[in-house]
Amino acid sequence: MQLATPPRGSGYWMATTKTDPKLAALADERKCKTYEGLTRQQLIEAYRFMYSSRRVDDREILLKRQQKIFFQISGAGHEAIGVAAGFCLKPGYDWFYPYYRDRALVLMLGGTPYDMLLQAVGAADDPSSGGRQMPSHWAYPRLNIVTQSSPTGTQILQAVGCAQAGVYLRNHPNAKQKAEGDYRQFKDVSWQGDEVTYVSLGDGTTSEGEFWEAINTASNRKLPIVFVVEDNEYAISVPVEVQTAGGNISRLVSGFPNFHFEEVDGTDPVVSYAAMKRAVDYCRAGKGPGFVHAHVIRPYSHSLSDDERLYRPDVERQRDAARDPITRMQMFLIREGILDEKGINQLEKKVEDEMQAAVDRALEAAFPTPDTITRYIYSPNLDPTSKQFGTEPVFPQISEAAPSDSKKPVLPKTMAELINATLRDEMKRDERIVVYGEDVADVSREDYLKKKLVKGKGGVFKLTAGLQMAFGSDRVFNSPIAEAQIVGTATGMATRGLKPVVEIQFFDYIWPAMLQLRDELPVIRWRSNNAFSAPLVIRVAIGGYLTGGALYHSQCGESIFTHIPGLRVVFPSNALDAAGLLRTAIRCDDPVLFLEHKRLYRETYGRSHYPGSDFMVPFGKAKIVQPGTDLTVITYGAVVPRALQAAQKLEREQGVKVELVDLRTLNPFDWETIANSVAKTNRALVAYEDSLSWGYGAEIAARIADQMFGQLDAPVRRVAAMDSYVAYQPVLEDAILPQASDLYRGMKELADY
Ligand SMILES: Cc1ncc(C[n+]2csc(CCOP(=O)(O)OP(=O)(O)O)c2C)c(N)n1
Ligand SMILES: [Mg+2]
């Protein structure tokens, strides 16, 4: 802070300005003086929010010690940069992804100490999560503060997606349109032409790969997003020079193009405001992203579970204390004659009284009741298992499908063709849909397309071929090879109301996105108590039987995702189901993992004519591929045609009639159809392509054993892959994956039992 040195002390200043005309003139002049544009009144406000923030921390610490709350993490030392940001940004207009130390910012945007204390006690009325999240995990839809989580850095890619959505909506105002009966009925979109997205993080969090993915995309796309790195020099006990090469993040990011960079003393609200303002103005003007590196302090330990004296000596902590933004701000207000000590005391007393009232009320607040636990894991508005998602196919008349002068027979289409056609129709119907992933565009260098120099690619399996040409490069585009980027940005976009239908090129490469897929996307609705949601579709090419796919192009692993509450998992076995299920996935109000078996993309089995632009298959409804009376086989995906082949052989050779159940969706799954079938046949075999142990079939087998024990004439059996990886050499691949012959053997043994 650039401080003048006026007379100190309340009495002196107030008394002399009344009697000395020179001092009175000076006082008048001072009253009009601004500080980097902040008025004296604004500085008083700033102090009020800073002080409130610190006091909430202190009260929470006390409450934790009294065991009235269960966790505490403070915003202490970060208050000045918080209020500086608050002056530059507009709640309910700009968008916010503030991390846990942004208490002062959240207060300034419109959160209250009472709200914060409600979260600390875990109250039902906690507006951010209804008692589901730890304190300081902010969420306020009316303020555009998007639900925050605990993993360090997952918010950053989502914020990038949020900024990207704002730009998209500006260019596609018709995307606002609502539609009865699909997710849009329950999802408003709004945008401002010059909105800015704010995202903050700690210095340690810049070590996360997702941070770099986010910076890369923001830079490349010149997005209106401001990154605020609050550098308190520690990540729990790990100092900044261990996290960051050279110890200074500003130096490392300085090469990214299109950015406006600031490095500032984040304990000083005035210089922080000036830096934030320059960065935000730059973003608002559409010039690109901003990066503000704010040097702050952490006067308390990392959280109440940490004791920093174990790794920070007194001398270092005292050095920090000398920069404490609260005491510095008090001194500044006094020195500048903005408030005298009495004024400060009055302000603090008022904050204290309000705080006490807030604490008293929060401690009386009702807790959430256990009957509400599963509320909002999925959309309460739109049930994808309901009848409205079960529509009849409308196949084209032969005359429509084939021009009259054509002699060619009209052939049914492959799964790949029907997925492509469904995407096309849905994109036509709904301008909120954007399609992206690795290689999904026809040609990124549009010029080549315009000049007709090339034909275009449209996906390594060509599932998205022609979509960019039909709908434009801002609706269908290539992403960097960064799976977390794909899922993280899509989550941010979906939160804003867009419907990303993104692609993960191979299931084997989904893992960089796992944190987003496990801790973010499916959790957003539940953790925010339905304040936010992110319905979107992730299409993933999965599976083996490829002869040569080997372990990095052939794996399954669906049970890892069916184990995630909040995520719908779909796995079609034929072209018609793929079309109907994809449409349901796109129109529904939940996040969907749509698993497409590569081997089935162009298989002769299960081809179909296009079932029309409204054909949908509801989730959770299995299909009886073949009725039977002797044995139930429950399966899905590429095992369906193999099981059918085995069942037909068994009937031909042994007269055993197998009832073959294709689950179609794995979460939810159709227990009713399974139970009815097993009640009839009294024998059950669960077959799946993934390795046997801990696979998806284990859950189905356990349920049958548990709930139908009395109706079984034989143990529940499983046929699946070996507990191995899929090998390159086809002899090995054949032995590893379940073949029709394995299924035949399994069925026969069970029928003979
Ligand atoms: C992905 C992930 N890894 C580890 C943690 C545990 N953790 C919580 S906060 C933290 C340190 C963060 O440090 P920094 O980014 O500097 O923020 P600060 O707390 O210092 O403000 C760690 C390791 C986590 N929450 N998420
Ligand atoms: Mg830190």
- Tell whether ligand 1 has an atom less than 6 A from the beta carbon of residue 205: yes
Q: How far is CA 317 from CA 257, 322, 332, in A?
A: 37, 9, 22
- Tell whether ligand 1 has an atom less than 6 A from the beta carbon of residue 204: yes
Q: What is residue 92's predicted lDDT score, i.e. its pLDDT?
A: 98
- Tell whether ligand 1 has an atom less than 6 A from the beta carbon of residue 152: yes
Structure token pair of residue 67: 């065991």
Ligand 2 centroid, distance to 604 Cα (angstroms): 57
Q: What is residue 409's predicted lDDT score, i.e. its pLDDT?
A: 73
pLDDT of residue 5 exceeding 50, the answer is no
503 closest CA partner among 554, 559, 451, 541:
541
Structure token pair of residue 490: 């899509």
Instruction: Specify whether the CB–CB gap between 673 and 622 falls below 8 A.
Output: yes
Which tens digits make up the pLDDT trace of 449-477? 889 999 999 999 999 999 999 999 999 99
Burial of 583 (0-12, 13-18, 19+ CB in 10 A): buried
* Nearest-ligand number for the alpha carbon of 150: 1
Query: Percentage of the chain with pLDDT > 90?
Result: 92
> Where is pLDDT greater, at 181 or 375?
375
DSSP 11-54: HHHHHHHHH-HHHHHHHHHHHH--BTTB-HHHHHHHHHHHHHHH
Euclidean distance between CA atoms 637 and 687, whole angstroms: 10
Question: Which residue is listed with tokens 């049914």?
Answer: 412
Report which ligand 1 atom has the smallest distance to the Cα of 206.
Answer: 15
Q: What is residue 27's predicted lDDT score, i.e. its pLDDT?
A: 65
Euclidean distance between CA atoms 23 and 14, whole angstroms: 10
Euclidean distance between CA atoms 166 and 160, whole angstroms: 10
HEC-encoded secondary structure of 230-248: EECCEECCEEHHHHCHHHC
Which tens digits make up the pLDDT trace of 644-701? 999 999 999 999 999 999 999 999 999 999 999 999 999 999 999 999 999 999 999 9
Who contacts 315 (Cβ-Cβ below 8 Å, separation ≥6)? none
Ligand 1 centroid, distance to 377 Cα (angstroms): 26
Q: What is residue 396's predicted lDDT score, i.e. its pLDDT?
A: 82
Euclidean distance between CA atoms 348 and 48, whole angstroms: 8
Structure token pair of residue 30: 């001072």
Which tens digits make up the pLDDT trace of 592-617? 999 999 999 999 999 999 999 999 99
Question: Virtual CA dihedral for 277, 278, 280, 284, nearest 10 degrees?
Answer: 120
Q: What is residue 398's predicted lDDT score, i.e. its pLDDT?
A: 61
- Tell whether ligand 1 has an atom less than 6 A from the beta carbon of residue 235: yes
pLDDT of residue 116 exceeding 50, the answer is yes
For 174-239, strand residue ranges (E) read 197-202, 225-231, 234-235, 238-239
Instruction: Specify whether the CB–CB gap between 477 and 444 falls below 8 A.
Output: yes
Given CA atoms 708, 690, 739, 573 in this order, what sign does their dihedral have? positive
Who contacts 350 (Cβ-Cβ below 8 Å, separation ≥6)? none
96 closest CA partner among 50, 170, 155:
155
Q: List the residue whose alpha carbon is closest to atom 13 of ligand 1.
A: 235
* Nearest-ligand number for the alpha carbon of 77: 1
296 closest CA partner among 278, 269, 315, 276:
269
* pTM of the complete model: 0.95
136 closest CA partner among 78, 218, 223:
78
Euclidean distance between CA atoms 94 and 104, whole angstroms: 17
Q: List the residue whose alpha carbon is closest to atom 24 of ligand 1.
A: 151
Euclidean distance between CA atoms 497 and 368, whole angstroms: 28
Average predicted confidence (pLDDT) for the chain: 95
- Tell whether ligand 1 has an atom less than 6 A from the beta carbon of residue 232: yes
Ligand 1 mutation pick, 236, 306, 520, max ligand atoms within 8 A of CB:
236
Q: What is the DSSP letter of 396?
A: P
Report which ligand 1 atom has the smallest distance to the Cα of 99.
Answer: 21
Kindly name the residue from 553, 563, 597, 609 that is annotated as catalytic: 553
Cα of 474 vs its chain's centroid, Å: 21
Ligand 2 centroid, distance to 571 Cα (angstroms): 43
Report which ligand 1 atom has the smallest distance to the Cα of 302.
Answer: 19
- Tell whether ligand 1 has an atom less than 6 A from the beta carbon of residue 236: yes
C-beta pairs of 282-288 under 8 Å, 24+ apart in sequence: 283/196, 283/224, 283/225, 283/226, 284/194, 284/196, 284/224, 285/194, 286/194, 286/222, 286/224, 287/222, 287/258, 287/260, 288/218, 288/219, 288/222, 288/223, 288/224, 288/258, 288/259, 288/260
Which tens digits make up the pLDDT trace of 395-438? 987 655 555 566 677 899 999 999 999 999 999 999 999 999 99
Paired sense of beta strands 658-662 and 623-626, if any: antiparallel
Beta bridge partners of 691: 721
- Tell whether ligand 1 has an atom less than 6 A from the beta carbon of residue 101: yes
Q: What is residue 1's predicted lDDT score, i.e. its pLDDT?
A: 41
Q: Categorize the per-residue pLDDT at 273 as very low, low, confident or very high, splitting at 50, 70 and 90.
A: very high
Who contacts 676 (Cβ-Cβ below 8 Å, separation ≥6)? none
Euclidean distance between CA atoms 599 and 45, whole angstroms: 64
Given CA atoms 664, 669, 675, 676 in this order, what sign does their dihedral have? negative
Q: What is residue 304's predicted lDDT score, i.e. its pLDDT?
A: 87
- Tell whether ligand 1 has an atom less than 6 A from the beta carbon of residue 150: yes
pLDDT of residue 21 exceeding 80, the answer is no
Euclidean distance between CA atoms 195 and 167, whole angstroms: 9
- Tell whether ligand 1 has an atom less than 6 A from the beta carbon of residue 155: no
Q: What is residue 676's predicted lDDT score, i.e. its pLDDT?
A: 98
pLDDT of residue 301 exceeding 50, the answer is yes
Euclidean distance between CA atoms 621 and 673, whole angstroms: 8
Q: What is the DSSP letter of 608?
A: B
Structure token pair of residue 366: 């009702």
Q: What is residue 9's predicted lDDT score, i.e. its pLDDT?
A: 34
- Tell whether ligand 1 has an atom less than 6 A from the beta carbon of residue 234: yes
Ligand 2 centroid, distance to 91 Cα (angstroms): 26
Backbone dihedral region for residue 660 (phi beyond 0: left; psi -120 to 50: alpha; all else: beta)? beta
pLDDT of residue 12 exceeding 50, the answer is no
Paired sense of beta strands 225-231 and 290-295, if any: parallel
Who contacts 32 (Cβ-Cβ below 8 Å, separation ≥6)? none
Give the three-state DSSP class for 631: strand
Ligand 2 centroid, distance to 644 Cα (angstroms): 58
Cα angle for residues 558, 559, 565 (degrees, 5° grid): 105
Beta bridge partners of 501: 435, 537
- Tell whether ligand 1 has an atom less than 6 A from the beta carbon of residue 549: no
Structure token pair of residue 288: 């690109």
Q: What is residue 697's predicted lDDT score, i.e. its pLDDT?
A: 96
pLDDT of residue 4 exceeding 60, the answer is no
- Tell whether ligand 1 has an atom less than 6 A from the beta carbon of residue 739: no
Q: List the residue whose alpha carbon is closest to atom 25 of ligand 1.
A: 151
The counts of H helices and E strands in the chain are: 28, 19
Report which ligand 1 atom has the smallest distance to the Cα of 230.
Answer: 21
pLDDT of residue 494 exceeding 60, the answer is yes
Q: List the residue whose alpha carbon is closest to atom 17 of ligand 1.
A: 202
Tell me what the mean pLDDT of segment 528-533 comes to: 98
- Tell whether ligand 1 has an atom less than 6 A from the beta carbon of residue 495: no
Q: What is residue 141's predicted lDDT score, i.e. its pLDDT?
A: 97
Who contacts 460 (Cβ-Cβ below 8 Å, separation ≥6)? 438, 439, 505, 541
* Nearest-ligand number for the alpha carbon of 156: 1
Ligand 2 centroid, distance to 8 Cα (angstroms): 35
Cα angle for residues 347, 352, 356 (degrees, 5° grid): 155
Euclidean distance between CA atoms 433 and 426, whole angstroms: 8
Angle subtended by helix axes 79-88 and 40-65, to nearest 10: 130
| Other Cβ atoms within 10 Å of 350 Cβ, number | 13
Tell me what the mean pLDDT of segment 541-553 comes to: 95
Who contacts 176 (Cβ-Cβ below 8 Å, separation ≥6)? 169, 189, 190
Instruction: Specify whether the CB–CB gap between 553 and 349 falls below 8 A.
Output: no
Q: What is residue 19's predicted lDDT score, i.e. its pLDDT?
A: 62
Catalytic: 553? Answer: yes
Query: Which range, of 5-9, 368-372, 629-633, 720-724, averages the lowest pLDDT?
Result: 5-9
Ligand 2 centroid, distance to 271 Cα (angstroms): 20
Ligand 1 mutation pick, 152, 238, 306, max ligand atoms within 8 A of CB:
152
Paired sense of beta strands 568-570 and 665-667, if any: antiparallel
Report which ligand 1 atom has the smallest distance to the Cα of 150.
Answer: 25
